[in-house]
């Protein structure tokens, strides 16, 4: 299988066709000529390296909170929502999670009026918050620039997703994968699908991402120099009535050096109700899923994987 790579300098028509095929057949693609200064990626990786090198006690001062922000120690979570593998061991990575830290301009919603940042910022890392906030903004801009292509790939007006993403639910995860000594059925991060609309991951210096498209064995993602890997998640799969894939993937570090991954999750705002898209249904293809907000799905997904919540999908979601 050829891993899809989209050159954002190409014509709009070529990009729309390439995106459509990538998400219908693979669920993953990479982008190049994306306009993001790679020095910003190197800065965020360095910030992650410095954060994770701190004493565990200091990191636990920012322990993962009820809003899913802060530090999660290695092996402190088990991915329970995979329908591909019974994951029964903690993942061999530690992570720091950042949620939105401010309200975008001109947002007038009940959530905006009550908004309070959930983030926990370390008190011994000057500049850490500023580095993460700048990278968060860059990734949100990249995600926003992709939305018209997604809309056109679904035969929708190019501004179709604008309202849903006016206040996107976006999260940044700084993951550290130490050199692994894995037990049987243990992974850096176990086989899973993502919960949201799309995920953005820059090429790491240390390889580790593996994907499993339909009717395929596990495939190692290629090296795409200064590229971003992008995949669709469960929300987009539901919204498109299964037209676009939410592909199982995992990460393993089989080297003798540390691996760092800076993952950005980009989804509609928590209040936006997603019903089957009009171009993804018809007389012979009725909607498979009831309307849902990302808040409902995200709460179940995060509680199942990072708390002791129910791992089975609630019947109201089916």
CB-based contact 51:128 (threshold 8 Å): yes
State the pLDDT confidence band at 314, using cuts at 50, 70 and 90.
confident
> Is the pLDDT score of 86 beyond 90?
no
Compute the C-alpha angle 145/206/141, nearest 5°. 15
pLDDT of residue 304: 85
Average pLDDT, integer, range 72-86: 80
Calpha distance 14→64 (Å, rounded)? 42
- Domain residue limits, the chain: 5-313
Can you point out the beta strands (E) in the chain? Answer: 5-7, 28-32, 70-72, 94-98, 169-177, 189-192, 198-202, 209-212, 219-220, 228-232, 248-251, 259-267, 273-274, 292-293
Instruction: Count other C-beta atoms under 10 Å from residue 190's C-beta.
Output: 27
CB-based contact 251:243 (threshold 8 Å): no
Pairing of strands 209-212, 248-251: antiparallel
Instruction: Count other C-beta atoms under 10 Å from residue 66's C-beta.
Output: 8
Q: Considering only CA atoms, which of 136, 148, 247, 251 is closest in space to residue 190?
A: 251
pLDDT of residue 2: 86
> Is the pLDDT score of 85 beyond 80?
no
Average pLDDT, integer, range 8-19: 98
State the pLDDT confidence band at 247, using cuts at 50, 70 and 90.
very high
pLDDT of residue 114: 79
Q: Average pLDDT over the chain, rounded to whole?
A: 93
Calpha distance 60→234 (Å, rounded)? 31
- Domain 5-313 adopts which CATH fold? Jelly Rolls (2.60.120)
Token pair of 30, please? 């990479």
CB-based contact 119:95 (threshold 8 Å): no
Calpha distance 7→14 (Å, rounded)? 9
Quick: pLDDT tens for 24-76: 999 999 999 999 999 999 999 999 999 999 999 999 999 999 899 999 998 87
Quick: pLDDT tens for 130-167: 999 999 999 999 999 999 999 999 999 999 999 999 99
> Is the pLDDT score of 169 beyond 90?
yes
What angle, 0 to 180 degrees and rounded to 10, lies between the N-to-C axes of helices 12-25 and 128-153? 90
Token pair of 128, please? 């850490």
State the pLDDT confidence band at 252, using cuts at 50, 70 and 90.
very high
pLDDT of residue 294: 93
Token pair of 138, please? 């860059």
Three-state DSSP state, 32? strand
């Amino acid at each position: 299988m050829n891993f899809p790579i989209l050159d954002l300098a190409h014509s709009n028509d070529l990009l729309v066709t390439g995106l459509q095929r990538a998400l219908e057949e693979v669920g993953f693609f990479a982008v190049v000529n994306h306009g993001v200064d790679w020095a910003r990626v190197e800065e965020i990786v360095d910030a992650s390296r410095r954060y994770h090198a701190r004493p565990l006690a200091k990191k636990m001062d920012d322990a993962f909170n009820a809003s899913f922000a802060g530090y999660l120690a290695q092996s402190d979570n088990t991915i329970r929502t995979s329908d591909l593998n019974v994951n029964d061991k903690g993942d061999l990575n530690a992570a720091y999670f950042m949620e939105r830290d401010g309200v975008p301009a001109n947002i007038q919603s009940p959530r905006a009026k009550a908004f309070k940042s959930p983030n926990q910022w370390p008190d011994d890392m000057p500049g850490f918050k500023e580095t993460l906030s700048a990278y968060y903004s860059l990734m949100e801009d990249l995600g926003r620039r992709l939305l018209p292509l997604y809309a056109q790939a679904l035969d929708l007006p190019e501004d179709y997703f604008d309202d849903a993403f006016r206040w996107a639910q976006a999260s940044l995860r700084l993951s550290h994968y130490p050199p692994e000594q894995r037990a049987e059925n243990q992974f850096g991060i176990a086989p899973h699908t993502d919960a949201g609309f799309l995920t953005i991951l820059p090429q790491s210096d240390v390889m580790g991402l593996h994907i499993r498209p339909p009717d395929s064995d596990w495939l190692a993602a290629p090296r795409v120099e200064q590229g971003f890997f992008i995949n669709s998640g469960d929300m987009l799969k539901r919204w498109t009535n299964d037209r676009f894939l939410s592909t199982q993937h995992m990460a393993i570090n089989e080297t003798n050096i540390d691996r760092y991954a800076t993952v950005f999750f980009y989804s509609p705002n928590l209040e936006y109700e997603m019903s089957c898209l009009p171009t993804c249904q018809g007389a012979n293809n009725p909607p498979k899923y009831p309307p849902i907000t990302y808040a409902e799905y995200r709460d179940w997904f995060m509680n199942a994987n990072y708390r002791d919540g129910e791992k089975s999908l609630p019947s109201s979601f089916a």
